[in-house]
């Protein structure tokens, strides 16, 4: 944009006209042109002082320059304004507006990830430190029963730290370059599922769970990274087992070919996921249950994030539906790869 000394817009390029479509810009003041005064403040400051101004503005969805938003999230804009003399020695303000929403969202994700990871690691580390101090300062090493109980708690939380670190590394690898991370090759889906069931057999037996597997056809072949897809199924089945301790749990794992897609489902009849939590279950560190007691070691909150990212790295999708107490189903759709 080119704005004169009375803050009236004299020139706009095609991008500006497209950005603020539906409103005539030239001849209007910048206050009239923009729906949010935060966008105009930087420009007015440049006009008033005659000095270059650069400012990042974060707007609510209803305050976007378009006057509407296709998604319910904030947008970020970099406003740069500087004095400019025309050939006729007229002083105008040259304004450049850049959409930096992608960079803003990436930075927010990074900050949230670091903050949440720090918080998640702090709790088990504090517990381990506390028990160590008790063992050393109170001479509890001479009491084998008490020492063993303390060491058992410390081991649980050290395992939690290891799991968090492993999950963080998995997320990092997947997001740093999925194409380089994945080692795709054809494998039988049944072999992958059988491996997962075998690894979780002790939990299945311990909780007396009715776990059924149905792959149709039996030789259904998937082209992908067997390690990550096995981890996906492991996380989904393990979640169903750990989140449903009541007797009578049934888990069904199915796989079938549908047109040009392979559809895999993991269903259970447990307590389910509340409808208000469903949109957030794939977000990092999000956990539906927040009432864990002191003797229970929480999950990392990264499992479903890894699941979603691994499926997306295979050009697939994953969705979740749930009727609490009746049925919860995770549906994975993968493209057929020749």
Q: Residue 242, Cβ neighbours under 10 Å: how many?
A: 13
pLDDT recorded at residue 33: 77
Of residues 229, 158, 314, the one with CA closest to residue 166: 158
pLDDT recorded at residue 268: 93
pLDDT recorded at residue 313: 87
Highest mean pLDDT among 57-66, 67-76, 281-290, 314-323: 314-323
- Mean of the pLDDT values across residues 314-332? 92
Distance CA 22, CA 34 (A): 12
Of residues 5, 40, 4, 8, the one with CA closest to residue 27: 8
Task: List the strands of the sheet with 327-335, edge to edge.
Answer: 210-216, 250-258, 261-268, 327-335, 317-323
Distance CA 301, CA 145 (A): 33
pTM for this predicted structure: 0.60
pLDDT in tens, 190-199: 999 999 999 9
Q: Residue 162, Cβ neighbours under 10 Å: how many?
A: 11
User: What are the backbone angles phi and psi of residue 271, rounded to the nearest 5°?
Assistant: -70, -15
- pLDDT-derived band of residue 254, with 50, 70 and 90 as boundaries? very high
Percent of the chain at pLDDT > 90 equals: 21
Highest mean pLDDT among 11-20, 77-86, 228-237: 228-237
The tally of CA atoms less than 13 A away on the side-chain side of residue 305 is 22
Residue 244 contacts residue 271 (beta carbons within 8 Å): yes
User: What are the backbone angles phi and psi of residue 56, rounded to the nearest 5°?
Assistant: -95, 130
- pLDDT-derived band of residue 120, with 50, 70 and 90 as boundaries? confident
pLDDT recorded at residue 337: 78
Residue 292 contacts residue 301 (beta carbons within 8 Å): no
Instruction: Please indicate whether residue 246 or residue 338 has the higher confidence score (pLDDT).
Output: 246
Distance CA 210, CA 288 (A): 24
pLDDT at 267 over 90: yes
- Mean of the pLDDT values across residues 149-174? 80
Three-class DSSP category at 208: coil
Residue 174 contacts residue 313 (beta carbons within 8 Å): yes
């Amino acid at each position: 944009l080119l704005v004169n000394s009375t803050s009236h817009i004299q020139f706009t390029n095609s991008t500006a006209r497209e950005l603020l479509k539906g409103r005539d810009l030239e001849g209007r003041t910048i206050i009239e042109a923009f729906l949010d005064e935060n966008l105009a403040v930087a420009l007015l400051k440049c006009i008033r002082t005659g000095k270059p101004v650069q400012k990042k503005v974060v707007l609510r969805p209803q305050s976007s320059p378009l006057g509407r938003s296709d998604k319910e999230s904030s947008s970020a804009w970099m406003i740069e304004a500087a004095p400019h003399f025309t050939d006729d020695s007229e002083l105008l303000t040259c304004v450049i507006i850049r959409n930096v929403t992608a960079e803003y969202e990436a930075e927010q994700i990074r900050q949230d990830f670091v903050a949440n990871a720090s918080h998640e690691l702090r709790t088990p580390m504090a517990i381990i430190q506390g028990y160590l101090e008790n063992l050393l300062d109170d001479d509890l090493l001479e009491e084998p029963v008490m020492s063993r109980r303390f060491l058992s708690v410390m081991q649980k939380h050290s395992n939690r730290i290891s799991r968090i670190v492993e999950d963080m590394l998995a997320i990092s690898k997947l997001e740093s370059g999925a194409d380089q991370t994945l080692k795709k090759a054809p494998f039988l889906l049944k072999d992958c599922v059988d491996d997962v069931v075998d690894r979780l057999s002790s939990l299945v037996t311990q909780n007396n769970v009715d776990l059924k597997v149905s792959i149709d056809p039996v030789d259904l072949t998937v082209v992908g990274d067997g390690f990550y897809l096995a981890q996906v199924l492991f996380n989904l089945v393990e979640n169903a087992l750990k989140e449903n301790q009541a007797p009578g749990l049934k888990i069904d794992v199915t796989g079938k070919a549908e047109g040009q897609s392979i559809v895999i489902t993991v269903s259970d009849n447990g307590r389910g996921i509340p409808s208000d939590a469903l949109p957030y279950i794939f977000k990092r560190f999000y956990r539906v249950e927040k009432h864990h007691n002191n003797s229970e070691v929480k999950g990392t909150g990264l499992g479903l994030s890894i699941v979603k990212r691994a499926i997306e790295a295979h050009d697939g999708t994953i969705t979740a539906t749930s009727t609490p107490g009746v049925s919860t189903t995770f549906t994975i759709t993968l493209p057929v790869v020749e």
